[in-house]
Chains A and B, each alone.
Chain A
Amino acid sequence: MSKSLIEVRDLTIGYTSKRGDLVHVLQDLSLQINPGETLGLVGESGCGKSTLGQAMMGYLRHGSQLLKGNVRLDDHDIFDLTAQELEAVRGQKIALIPQNAGNSLTPTMRVGKQVLEAIHLNADVSDVDAKARMLDLLAKVRLPDPEVIAARYPHELSGGQQQRVVIAMALAGLPEMLVLDEPTTGLDVTTQAHILDLLRDIVAELGTAMMYISHDLGVIARVSDRVAIMYAGEIVEDASATEIFKVPAHPYTRGLLESIPRLSRAGIPKSMPGQPPIPGTLPGCAFAPRCTFATDLCTSESPKLETVNQTTHLVRCHHGEETIATDFSRELEQVYHTVEHRLQDEPALELSDVEITYYRPGIMDRLGRDSEPPATVSDLTLSVQRGETLALVGESGSGKSTIVRTISGLLPAKSGRIRFEDCDLTVEVDDRPVDLCRNVQMIFQNPDASLNPRHTVAEILDQPLKLYFPELTRDERRNRQVELLERVRLDGRYRLRYPAQMSGGEKQRVAIARAFAADPEVVLCDEPTSSLDVSVQAAVLDLLADLQRERNITYIFITHDLAVVRAIADRVVVLYQGRICEVGSVDEIYAPPYHPYTETLLGAILEPDPATKPKLLASDTPELGPPAQGCVFQRRCPYHTEICDHESPSWQVSELSNRHRIRCQIPLNELTNAQTDVIAA
């Protein structure tokens, strides 16, 4: 067995909470990384993965302390090093690529200078050489025009560009190991795919080891040689990537894999009830309360991280050997259950030629400017049937949030028609009748922000009841609150809780209950599961599907996750820079012909399967707004021809189904021939 590059042994880190007690973040954590190897560290929010990443660099957040264990890098205990030694190690031996690149670059220093700083810290080079190296590094991370970029300040770069600069900075010292803390979370799907591709190539070229921290199993599958699963501050499974994804041994790993929506399977996955405990507080296995296979042994005795069947596959479970013997792939087949769709014939919402813009000219603008910039959203024509789940899909800048905000009345439409029953929805909330407001409800993305922190659940649910059903007495309202909570599968006693006392999944349920308190016809869901942990998402999706079935509710569902769309949508609208590219049923969208943008999106998706790889079709240059004329995808389209820059493409309807339309110059049968089925591949 070759010598490991970095070894973590029994690491226990804790901090003193506001109330004065000692809380553990990491508990007896052990792992090792070999030279040139990429370890994927998987964990959900709160499991301590960021703390581990920082500890690998010898860094403890203000207020945290090392309680036990050590981190050995090249036979030195990293926490025993002096400040100077530590400074030498950082950058030269091990470097960090953090989550939010924009915040991690000093705002007052040009980015080139920051990369130069990293170079000078780790090698004795002349200024001329250093500058050349810096430009070299920027080119290596595939930034166009390195000279121009180097002179810019961080706020002048896009998210993807900032991330690349940070990667260049990390590579400056030619470190033996990189620690990456969720570097692509928050970036668009296509940008993410490009950055991962870049990382893979660099690591292969330089032979650097990587510890890649993420909660996204698709990303982990793409980059990792080995995978370690973290739960409640401990490592519960540690094996090669193939083993983890094909023959997982720990029930938590299985639960995770079973809770991810996949492109290759239509249907809602299974979710894991419950929440992780605070590390070190349970006498037995940390996962026992949520484990379906738990026995008395599990609740009383904490299992150790041990090998299974004398392989290098490590698992922290008393029953690991039995678990690994079961057929996981067959189990996976049975997990996904499809949603029953009950579409009605009559339309619920109709939109025609809607145009929405944020541009509000002030006096100065009116005097100075010659023409208006293109509208944020335009040419929006759509019809949504009652009982349907329509998914709006797109990346940042696609206009999906803008459209939903307009439908809900937070934003007026500039022109066009939006009708629900007999009402006009192009006007803002203040001009709408109360009944219309009641019928169109919205669920927001971030449950932390969408609930008033000063209100109890009872008060939160009382608001819509008082507003829409003023004839109810206080007791009647109270009963309805309990009813609503039970419908979202929360105990009635949650009424008295404050948002701060609930988990993310619970808060989102309350938000859902609030929306349904109005007894609406249409519910607009703005990325309702994106802020939740993967293991909880499926439960919320399930809930939404059940609620829909009960009352034949129409959903407009925004998401950037095409796998989620596959699970629950009837029809899909693909948006780019505020214009529709393609509309069709789920099956139609996911098979050729695709609009070139749809093909790009689908190609960039990372499935939790190490055997698959994404297709990078378009570059990830950032767009600052829709073009003034021509096709909206003209700058990035792989099939681009000259005509695309001048003429707006017309709608082409598929021969197979008249509800499937694509807006592109290229004839559909040509597209079909050129494209391969992204999912089947």
Chain B
Amino acid sequence: MTVASPTVEQISTVKRRSPMSETWEYLRRSRSGMIGLFLIVSHLLIALTSPLLVPQDPLEMNAEARIEAPSTEHLMGTDRLGRDVFSRSMLGGRVTLVVTIVAIILAVIWGSLVGIALGLLGGRIDEVVMRFVDALLSLPWLLILLLVVSIMGTDMWIQALTFGFTYGILTIRVARAATLDFVTREFLLAARARGESTRTIVMRELLPNVRDVLLVDGAMNWSWMLLGFTSLSFLGFGVTPPTPDWGFMIAKNREILAIQPWAVFGPVIMLSTLIIGINLFSDALAKAMGLDRSQGAPV
């Protein structure tokens, strides 16, 4: 006895609704998400174009114009060496952004590889590595970072590597947990029972599902990384002067906080808006993907 399949009308009226387009739909309608995205994109644009667009030369020291209050010439006033705070604030994020973006890409890649591998392998290796990771993550994060950076040096690209490596450890945990979540699902078992190669299983079956979690975690990790990087440059372990850098500027200009607060608030506003933007966006992204951002960070 045969059974009729659904009517033709029913099929044609169903639009193709991929999981990705659904996510984007939700994001578009989220106000906080769009604000966050706007902030991030703005910062990226500023970082890219500011050398051409800033009103003053950020490195030019002007002995006569020291510690001045904001004016039309210097929108945020000047610092102790007579340099324009506004221009320096605009440029202050360039190194930070380059280092953290390169680092986060590295972190996500290497963290995911290791995490997924651990999730799939299980057994002895998994146990040993995870104990090590847990031990590492239960130590004071900032001090570890400080130690590693002081050993490795403050060259921009070395820093990107260093941060990428250390923050990638956080990703290992997340990637492993996500993998474990899917490893027992029947569609993975079905693929294995078919005789698919491990490579196919990971690339075609696992990755498309784990991708979401990794993206959201990557965004959050980026924000933790920014906190870490700027904290380190605040302590003097970051970029070498005279290149403008937010953390360093805040540290140095604290001395004149009482007289010329804008010298501090310039970089503060820039840094805060970037971090808030990333947080808003990743929150909205997580909600759109149906994930819960309950992971805390060590920083």
Contact = CB atoms under 8 A, between A and B. Distances in A.
Contacts of B187: 449-452
Nearest to B1: A542
A489 B3 CA distance: 7
Given A446-B186, A450-B187, A464-B194, A501 B14 contact: yes
Given A273-B4, A489-B2, A452 B195 contact: no
B14 A463 contact: no
Nearest to A432: B195
Nearest to B189: A410
Interface string B1-44: 11111101001101011110000000000000000000000000
Interface string A425-465: 00001001010011001101110011111110000000110
B14 A467 contact: no
Interface in A51-97: none
Contacts of B193: 408-410, 429, 437, 441-442
A498 B15 CA distance: 11
Contacts of A449: 185-187
Interface in A514-557: 514, 518, 539, 542-543
Contacts of B14: 497, 501
A429 B196 CA distance: 9
Interface in A476-534: 489-491, 493-494, 496-498, 500-501, 506, 511, 514, 518
Contact of A489 (B5, B17, B189, B194): B5
Interface in B204-239: 204-205, 208-209
A452 B5 contact: no
B190 A444 contact: yes
B3 A273 contact: yes
B123 to A, nearest CB: 9
Contact of A496 (B1, B16, B196): B16
B130 interface: no
A410 B192 contact: yes
B205 A452 contact: yes
B191 interface: yes
Q: What size tier do the contact residues of chain B reach?
A: 20 to 34
Contacts of B16: 496-497
B194 A437 contact: yes
A450 B185 CA distance: 7
A659 interface: no
A513 to B, nearest CB: 12
Contacts of B194: 437, 441, 463-464, 467, 518
A491 B8 contact: yes
Nearest to B193: A408
A309 to B, nearest CB: 33
Contact of A493 (B2, B12, B185, B208): B12
Nearest to A434: B195
Contacts of A500: 17, 19
B208 A455 contact: yes
A270 interface: yes
A152 interface: no
Contact of A429 (B4, B11, B195, B200): B195
A454 B19 contact: yes
Nearest to B19: A454
A53 B186 CA distance: 32
A337 B295 CA distance: 56
Contact of B19 (A409, A410, A489, A498): A498
Nearest to A444: B186
Contacts of A490: 5
B291 to A, nearest CB: 14
Contacts of A452: 187, 205, 208-209
A31 B64 CA distance: 90
Nearest to B14: A501
Contacts of A438: 195
Q: What size tier do the contact residues of chain A reach?
A: 35 or more
A489 B1 CA distance: 12
B1 A467 contact: no
Contacts of A107: none
Nearest to A462: B204
A501 B17 contact: yes
A270 B1 contact: yes
Given A449-B186, A452-B205, A453-B209, A271 B196 contact: no
Contacts of B4: 273, 489
Given A452-B187, A467-B196, A271 B5 contact: no
A144 interface: no
A489 B4 CA distance: 7
Contacts of B208: 452, 454-455
A451 B187 CA distance: 5
Given A453-B19, A494-B11, A442 B190 contact: yes
Nearest to A435: B195
A186 interface: no
Contacts of B209: 452-454
Interface-centre pick from A454, A455, A518 (highest chain B CB count, 10 A): A454
A182 to B, nearest CB: 23
Contacts of B200: 467
Contacts of A273: 3-4
Interface string A117-156: 0000000000000000000000000000000000000000
B18 A491 contact: no
Nearest to A429: B195
A139 B14 CA distance: 55
A263 B186 CA distance: 31
B3 A450 contact: no
Nearest to B205: A452
B18 A337 contact: no
Contacts of B8: 491
B195 A437 contact: yes
Nearest to B191: A463
Contacts of A408: 193
Contact of A467 (B19, B186, B189, B195): B195
B278 to A, nearest CB: 25
Contacts of A446: 186
A450 B190 contact: yes
A638 interface: no
A667 interface: no
Contact of B3 (A432, A444, A511, A539): A539
A511 B186 CA distance: 11
B11 A498 contact: no
B6 to A, nearest CB: 7
A274 interface: yes
Contacts of B19: 453-454, 498, 500
Nearest to B190: A450
B186 A450 contact: yes
Nearest to A447: B186
B191 to A, nearest CB: 7
Interface string A409-423: 110000000000000
A463 B186 CA distance: 15
A467 B196 CA distance: 7
Contacts of A518: 194
Contacts of A444: 186, 189-190
A496 B196 CA distance: 23
Interface-centre pick from B1, B8, B186, B195 (highest chain A CB count, 10 A): B195
Q: Which 10 pairs from chain A and chain B are nearest by CB?
A: A437-B195, A454-B208, A450-B186, A449-B186, A539-B3, A444-B186, A452-B187, A408-B193, A493-B11, A273-B4
Given A489-B2, A501-B14, 11 more contacts: A270-B1, A410-B189, A437-B193, A437-B195, A444-B190, A454-B19, A467-B195, A489-B4, A491-B8, A498-B17, A500-B19
10 contacts: A409-B195, A410-B192, A444-B189, A454-B209, A464-B194, A489-B3, A490-B5, A498-B17, A498-B18, A542-B3
